[in-house]
Amino acid sequence: MKNSSAYSLSFSLSNKGNREGTEVVQVCIRRMDDAEGPIKTLKAFKRIALKAGEKQQVP
């Protein structure tokens, strides 16, 4: 990845089970130019509820 102040991420999340459920999606980053900083930093999270067999695009 090039150095930039903004990135976008999108993926599809599916519940292949036969019961509804929730998932907490987490986005962690690591600054490659900061050798003394933390290995990972949580930058965003979102709880997503899916019905049985449902698939959802996460922007």
CATH number for the domain harbouring residue 28: 2.60.40.10
pLDDT tens track for 10-35: 999 999 999 999 999 999 999 888 88
pTM: 0.73
Distances (CA, A) of 6 to 1, 17, 20, 21, 54: 11, 35, 34, 31, 30
First to last CA, the chain: 19
Instruction: Look up the domain containing 30 and give its range.
Output: 11-58
24 in any annotated domain? yes
Return the pLDDT at 45. 97
Number of domains in the chain: 1
Asked whether the predicted pLDDT for residue 1 surpasses 60, the reply is no
d(CA 53, CA 33): 42
Question: Which of these, 8, 6, 22, 13, lies nearest to 57 by C-alpha position?
Answer: 13
